[in-house]
Structure 1
Amino acid sequence: MSPPESVVGKHRQVADDVIDEAVYGHLVGGEWVESDGGETMVARDATTGEELAKVQRGTRGDVDRAVTAARTAVEGAWGEQSPQQRAEALHAVADAVEDAKTRIARLDSLEVGKANKHSLLVDNTIVVDQLRHFASLARTADGGRCPAVGHVYTRREPYGVVGCISAWNFPAMFVAWKLGPALAAGNSVVYKPSSRASLSTLELARIFDRVLPDGTVNVVTGSGSVVGDAITAHGGVDKVSLTGSTRAGQEAMRNAADRLAPVSLELGGNNPNVVFPDADLDDAVEGALVAMLFNQGQQCTAGSRLFVHEDVRDEFLGRLSDRLDELTVGDPLSPLTDLGPLVDADHAADVREYVDVAMAEGASLLYEGDVPAELTDAPFVPPTLLGDVADDDTVACEEVFGPVAAVFTFSDRAEVVERANDTEQGLAAAVWTNDLDRAHEVAADLECGTVWVNTYNDLFEPAPYGGYKQSGIGRELDAEALDDYSQTKSVKVNHGDVPNLG
């Protein structure tokens, strides 16, 4: 059954309001250009399947042009700007993005299926905050004085041209996560958005292009196997930053290895969400909802492994089921919607297959929500809770990337820490307890880059963010990100005798 005409018509009207290009070009050296291959790709509405616009199918030649433009900018107009000038430019970008954030949020709701209230109030709030945060840090990004005898100081210098590759689940937000620190440190950028979601990136690129010197930010759309590989393997790209799957990160490192280009990676997660018996259960239930369902579970920080202490398991699951019943699954453009569709039919099929495999391996279905009858052809997956899952079952070991959580029962702290750490990934975790000592002890023992205590997915206050193990290399969001986009030079000035061999 196709979506009703009322939904299709509403989406067409919103698309007409926010999309004013039938065909988007690459942004290269301040110009919007066609691919030298002459081919385009279709950007589709996640809910209705209708075409929204066309974007360029990039080639290696397009990447060459973009890298050349970025090199010209970083060795010229952009590279000559002082830290203060870079800060002022990023503040100007942030001002313009804030003016456009309603439009950007709607683009992500159309193309990715995000609930619009989340896209606007969370994603785009973080976009603006990140740009302002790194605008402030840009003023002090160039080095400092070392405590030493004589005149010794350090300089933080940009790498030059940074190649950035992002994922489809937070298209607008990743622009700020990567461009904020990269530009604050003084680099120019060649940026590739996901081929599944490019439109909000291209709209944001217009803003950067209006404010910054030509070539400072360049955007090449296309597939990861062509454009992504061309960026990570390009001899003119001095530094690589990628957000994506572990496999994509491994490929990026291989491509960059021959020239020893530094690589920072934000990759997948298989994250434990641990509820102790003394936790405030109402708060923990809300945290579990955010952990498994924010962005329809399409987030690398998703709390897809829910560990609940045996003393409160039944009460907790009862409250969680009641709250799941209250959520609205539907059109992402509706202000009442809590959960929209997944990004496309292929990904929805992958998530459903994980549930089918789990059931075949012996899992039980603790909860399965409903999908609106009029939207059954859209790529919806209802909220799903699985029980009776073994620690080595597929759904417990792999990243599902959808609104699905496996529920596990534990009896003591040492046991749950060992089981929580029994994964190749280590991005995030959460602990729910009113015992402050236990919170700190468990946080110290968990093998991951971020631990939330009595909250989940709280990324509003900048703090270093990144993974352990196969969840990545490097940090984003805070001052440490500047270290990933710059390199240190020590300068020592001799004012006395010249050292000699004696």
Structure 2
Amino acid sequence: MTELVEHGKLFIGGRMTDPLGTDVIEVISPHTGRPVGRVPHASRADVDRAVAAARTAFDEGPWPRASLEERLAVVTRVKDAIGARHEELARTISAQNGTPYTTSVMMQALAALMVWDANLAIARDFPYEERRAGALGPLLVRREPVGVVAAVVPWNVPQFTAAAKLAPALLAGCTAVLKVSPETPLDSYVLADICREAGLPDGVLSILPADREVSEYLVGHPGVDKVSFTGSVAAGRRVMEVAARNLSRVTLELGGKSAAVILPDADLETAVKGVAPWAWMLNGQACVAQTRILVPRARHDEYAEAFAAEAAALKIGDPLDAETGLGPLVAERQQRRSLDYIRIGQEEGAKIVAGGGRPAHLEHGWYVEPTLFGGVDNSMRIAREEIFGPVVCLLPYDDEDEAVRIADDSEYGLSGSVWTADTERGIDVARRVRTGTFSVNTFSVDMLGPFGGYKNSGIGREFGPEGYGEYLEHKMIHLPAGYEGA
């Protein structure tokens, strides 16, 4: 993607529409620092139009009243088109946020495809109605679409997080306004084109690129019934505060500082090869990244050497180069943040084992070397605060109980993993750590199971029947005693 991509319209209510404001978002390549695209910046007036369209489509339109089979057919066409255009989506995302292209194909485009596919499977078999024996007579319990959804997604995995919100919302019969990040608006135009061609009715979906101020206006809009937000803890708190004014339902998927616990019986090579890709995943810009690696104290130096070798093996450079393993951070502010934390870590007494600065061979771009700190104490800021860059901590422990305490000693609780020769032992560790997702001798986020956080990592769940249910209201219908109808 070398040519400047320009869009002059906004996707509102299923149609490409002239914006009501005049502000423009300039999309900057994190590799070159030069523009790669321009799109309109949605205004509050554009939000009003989008919410009004969604409100009318939900209250009066065919989508919530369509049969499940009709909605499945439309969303299947969306899914199939994403599959057909996944390389275009991956390349567009890489050009905007710096994700290496080979990673972007799998973790940006194909992962989004998997989310759409999983929700189609869940929607087909979901119990929308069930009969129960009540204390005062028979009951009919219904699940009905929650209404107008404001879906706010970040720049690190824009299609993946959009799918996590739109797929269940649309299949459940909701209408939606998708607010995309100003760093990554270009791929959303591909999604808009896909949804329009798939036959979504008018008003069902709008897509608005905008900054935080306009996002807050959308989140607090009285026409919105539910907010689904992915982002930082600080922004999540503000979303919850603003949405509470209207008592809008809220799902928050927030930050993480996840621990990979390597037990003494683990095979070193297996553990290192298993953890390393998820420690520096997405250039370190992933909420589920395994950024705290816990190792037996007696083998700390051995593990430090092995993980340093993995860091050194990552080719750093142009994210559109198929050989690149680590690309630039999304913006100069993220580069500055990571470099500041590297300085803080040194001041705190941690030792740099690998990386620690800008790559010497790159004259431009917002790059930071994959950095590994050794001898980290869990009280240090680099171990407690989410850096959202390629900075990883190696923390020694003396026994399994201490490892569990360290893993659990965090304001976050989003993800984690354990590596051991004894799977049952690993499952026991997984049960003890208070975090929403935990893997044993692997790492994954499975779209058929619930994903979300404990503690400051969020509220509610995405994926699985639990995530699908977040887009439905529960209605109890009391039936007359003795009723035996269908």
TM-score normalized by the length of structure 1: 0.92
Cα contact 1:48–1:378 (8 A) shared by 2:
yes
Aligned position for 1:463:
449
Counterpart among 438, 446, 459 of residue 473 in structure 1: 459
Alpha-carbon distance in structure 1 between the residues aligned to 2:192 and 2:472:
22
Residue 74 of structure 2 is aligned to residue 86 of structure 1:
no
Which letter maps to 2:46?
D
Name 2:339's counterpart in structure 1: 352
Cα offsets for 1:386-444 (capped at 9, x unmatched): 12332221111100111111111001111111121111111111111112332122111
CA distance, structure 1, for counterparts of residue 237 and residue 287 of structure 2 = 16
Secondary structure of the equivalent of 1:316? helix
Q: Deviation per CA, 1:193-237, whole angstroms, max 9, x where unpaired?
A: 11121111221122112221122110111111x221011111000
Deviation at 1:292, TM superposition (A): 1.7
How many angstroms does 1:129 deviate by? 1.4
Displacement after TM superposition at 1:58 (Å) = 1.9
Say yes or no: does 1:65 pair with 2:49.
yes
Query: CA 1:24/1:284 → structure 2, altered by over 3 Å: closer, same or farther?
Result: farther
Report the secondary structure of 1:177's partner residue.
helix
Alignment partner for residue 494 of structure 1, among 466, 475, 480? 480
| Runs of 5+ consecutive residues of structure 2 not aligned to the other structure | none
Q: Which residue of 171, 176, 186 maps to 2:158?
A: 171
Which shifted more, 33-42 or 330-339? 33-42
1:221 to 196, 209, 213: 209
For the residue of structure 2 that corresponds to 1:255, the secondary structure is helix
Q: In 2, are the aligned partners of 1:84 and 1:138 still within 8 Å (CA)?
A: no
Equivalent of 1:36 in 20, 24, 43 = 20
Residue by residue over 1:91-111, the C-alpha shift from the partner in whole angstroms, topping out at 9 and shown as x without a partner, is: 110111111111000011100
| SS of residue in 2 equivalent to 1:476 | coil
Describe the shift of the 1:35–1:461 C-alpha distance in structure 2 as closer, same or farther (beyond 3 A). closer
Secondary structure of 2:2's aligned partner: helix
Partner of 2:284: 297
1:136 aligns with 121
Q: Is contact 1:245-1:268 (8 Å) kept?
A: yes
2:188 aligned with 1:188: no
TM-score (norm 2): 0.95
In the alignment, the residues of structure 1 paired with residue 9 and residue 84 of structure 2 have an alpha-carbon distance, to the nearest angstrom, of 23
- 2:355 is matched with 368
Work out the CA distance in 2 between the residues paired with 1:103 and 1:371: 30
Q: Which residue of 1 aligns with 2:62?
A: 77
Q: What is the rounded CA distance, in whole Å, between the counterparts of 1:380 and 1:242 in structure 2?
A: 28
Residue in 1 aligned with 2:249? 262
> Which whole-Å CA distance do the structure 2 matches of 1:27 and 1:408 have between them?
48
Matched, 1:454 2:441: yes
Alignment-mate amino acid for residue 84 of structure 1: E
Structure 1 segment 282-431 matched on structure 2, within 5 A: 282-368=269-355, 373-431=360-418
Q: Does residue 204 in structure 1 map to residue 191 in structure 2?
A: yes
The alpha carbon displacement at 1:374 in A equals 4.9
Q: What is the DSSP-based 3-state SS (H/G/I as helix, E as strand, rest coil) of the residue aligned with 1:15?
A: coil
Deviation at 1:289, TM superposition (A): 1.3
Contact 1:264 1:473 in 2 (8 A): yes
Query: Where do 5+ consecutive residues of structure 1 fail to align?
Result: 1-13, 498-502
What is the match of residue 252 of structure 1?
239
CA distance in structure 2 between the aligned counterparts of 1:372 and 1:383, rounded to whole angstroms: 9
Instruction: After TM superposition, give the deviation of residue 461 of structure 1 in Å.
Output: 5.2
Question: What is the Cα deviation at residue 238 of structure 1?
Answer: 0.2
- RMSD of aligned Cα (Å): 1.8
The corresponding residue for 1:47 is 31
| Residues 98-142 of structure 1 deviation map (CA, whole Å, 9 limit, x = unaligned) | 111110000111000011001112321111111122122223446
Q: 1:461 to 1:473 in 2, by over 3 A?
A: closer
- Is the 2:437–2:445 Cα contact (8 Å) retained in structure 1? no
Give the distance between the partners of 1:433 and 1:228, measured in 2 at CA: 44
CA distance in 1, matches of 2:264, 2:482: 67
Q: Secondary structure at the match of 1:337?
A: coil
1:178 and 1:113 map into 2 onto residues whose CA distance is 23
Matched pairs, number? 479
The one-letter amino acid of 1:131's match is W
